[in-house]
Amino acid sequence: MSDLQQQMFSEFEDKKLFKQAQEYALDYIDSHRDRQVFPTEEALEGLKAFDEPLPVNKGNGADILRLLQEKGGPATIPQIGGRYFGLVNGGVIPTTLAVRNLTDYWDQNAPLYVTSPVNSMLEEVTQKWLVELLGLPNQTVAGFVSGTSISLLAGIAAARYRIFKNNHWDVNEQGLNGAPPINILASKHAHGTVIKAIAILGLGTNNIQWLDADDQGRVIAESVPEMDASTILILQAGNVNSGSFDPFDILCDKANKAGAWVHIDGAFGLWAAGTKQLCHLTKGIEKAHSWSMDGHKTLNTPYDSGVILCKDEEALVTALQTSGAYIVNSVNRDGMFYTPEMSRRARAIELWAALKYLGREGVDELVVGLHERAKQFAAEIANVEGFTVLNEVVFNQVIVKCADDELTQQTISEIQNLRECWVGGSKWEGDAVIRISVCSWATTEDDISRTVASFKQALFAVKSKR
């Protein structure tokens, strides 16, 4: 046995490393609520400790953990807490974190039934539960990917495959040179990852016909041009700024009549379909062909959790085909056929755990809770002089501006400096805006009030300096 083997066997045996990691992790849970929502300057400076040449000699696990604890931990964003409102960053359900912890030790590889029967089973169950919860067609299949970016790539690849195939063109074999045209319709508010997927798939971003949207960012149904069987229509459940939803019911009917393919980017918004109070927002989604969503945003699973849902199994699987003489297909589910990746984490287990923990009732409570807190924020900030709320708060997003762009931008910087909460900026109808995404179960009414107070303090400080 080599020295390295000996060392690592003893690390498994005495378990000190694992206990140490657990202790640090539990410290983090205990302290995160009291921490500032963005690392201090000192903590950021401390990251320089990692900037060293590739080590020549073997290291020591305990030292590595200590370095992370001392220099890494302070430079994390405590987004498992309740006052992080940047991007659309979900918090985390404790059970799913614990499940991740356990299953990390299993270190499963998820491509095939034979590489992980337990993952295969839980993918199958999660697929069934998602289809039921969201009210999608029975034949819908799910692939478990790293996030909506890859889910969009997979869904639009399925659309591309099917449309070409219907035109007697096998894109897998014949490629794109000389292929018949594909007509892409997407909202002018489409997320950057939609555009990325179109570019990667060789469909060409110059070929996108941009759809007009109303003042909330919803596609205006009447403005959508004629579609045909070569059209991919990409709609959105949850605008990344305003949280608004496109009119799926009307547009899916129109698309289906024309034989077009509809893909819905529902990264964070598709979960509205699993609630009683907000499911009116997703009316008609079941008439689409494929859907993208995340576990790690609205559902609050740990990061690295996305899903591609597609009712045309053959199109999805053929678009993402893999073969190899060593691949052992099984009569059970082989998850890799539904994803672009082959080796991957058994990430569906955390999504399964979230649904098992919450149940329909808990999904409703969690999602509606985010909506309630967003409405609370909008109501409270509207009462603070100097801030204007710009959107109808239909879901979890609020956009706010100050008197002019410069004041808005300076206020964002000041809010970020105060570190009581974290929010970012964006553009809305040409103006600089502050965007607030309520995306953690851990956000309480008090967190919202503290956030509003911090906004007020920041604006006051900026104005005093003028």
Ligand X SMILES: *Cc1c(COP(=O)(O)O)cnc(C)c1O
The span from the CA of 302 to the CA of 90, in Å, is: 8
Q: State which residue, 240 or 459, has the beta carbon closest to ligand X.
A: 240
* Identity of the residue, 241 or 376, whose beta carbon is nearer to ligand X in the bound complex: 241
Radius of gyration of the chain (CA): 24
* 3-class state of residue 23 by DSSP: helix
Least Å distance, CB 460 to ligand X, is 32
Rounded Cα distance between 150 and 307, Å, is 9
> Between residue 139 and residue 178, which ones bind ligand X under the rule CB under 6 A?
147-149
- Tell me how far, at minimum, the Cβ of 57 lies from ligand X, in Å: 38
- Taking the least distance from each CB to ligand X, the nearer of 55 and 192 is 192
- Complex with ligand X: residue 39 or 147, whichever CB lies closer: 147
342-361 positions binding ligand X, by CB under 6 A = none
Q: Which of 40, 48, 264, 11 is nearest to 155 (CA)?
A: 264
Number of alpha helices (DSSP H) and beta strands (DSSP E) in the chain: 14, 11
Q: How many residues bind ligand X (CB under 6 A)?
A: 13
CB-based contacts of 238: which residues, under 8 Å, 6+ apart? Answer: 88, 244, 245, 266, 267, 268, 269, 270, 272, 395, 397
- Which member of 116, 193, 282, 376 binds ligand X (CB under 6 A)? 193
| Cβ–Cβ under 8 Å, residues 122 and 144 | no
Residue 240 near ligand X by CB under 6 A? yes
Residue of minimal Cβ distance to ligand X: 147
Only one residue has tokens 């990390």, namely 104
CB 211 within 8 A of CB 188: yes
CB 346 within 8 Å of CB 414: no
Q: Would you tell me the crossing angle of helices 192-200 and 148-166 to the nearest 10 degrees?
A: 50
> Which residues have C-beta within 8 Å of that of residue 189, sequence separation ≥ 6?
213, 217, 219, 236, 239, 240, 241
Q: Give bridge partners of residue 264 from the DSSP assignment.
A: 235, 291
Binding mask 262-301 for ligand X (x = CB under 6 A): ---x-xx-------------------------x-------
Pick between residue 246 and residue 364 the one whose CB is nearest to ligand X.
Answer: 246
Min separation Cβ 282 and ligand X, Å? 14
β-strand pairing of 388-389 with 397-401: antiparallel
**Could you give the string, one character per residue 84-103, with x where binding to ligand X holds by CB under 6 A and - elsewhere?**
----x---------------
Interface residue with ligand X among 238, 295, 340, 425 (CB under 6 A) is 238
Q: How far is the CB of 266 from ligand X (least distance, A)?
A: 8
> Whose Cβ is closer to ligand X: residue 240's or residue 281's?
240
> Smallest gap, in angstroms, from Cβ of residue 299 to ligand X?
12
Question: Closest distance between ligand X and the C-beta of residue 51, in Å?
Answer: 27
Q: Which is nearer to ligand X, 149 or 454 (CB)?
A: 149
Q: Which is nearer to ligand X, 238 or 274 (CB)?
A: 238
The piece of 19-27, 70-78, 124-132, 261-269 that touches ligand X (CB under 6 A) is 261-269
Q: Residue 174, Cα to own-chain centre: how many angstroms?
A: 33
Which residues sit at the interface with ligand X, rule CB under 6 A? 88, 147-149, 191, 193, 238, 240, 265, 267-268, 294, 306
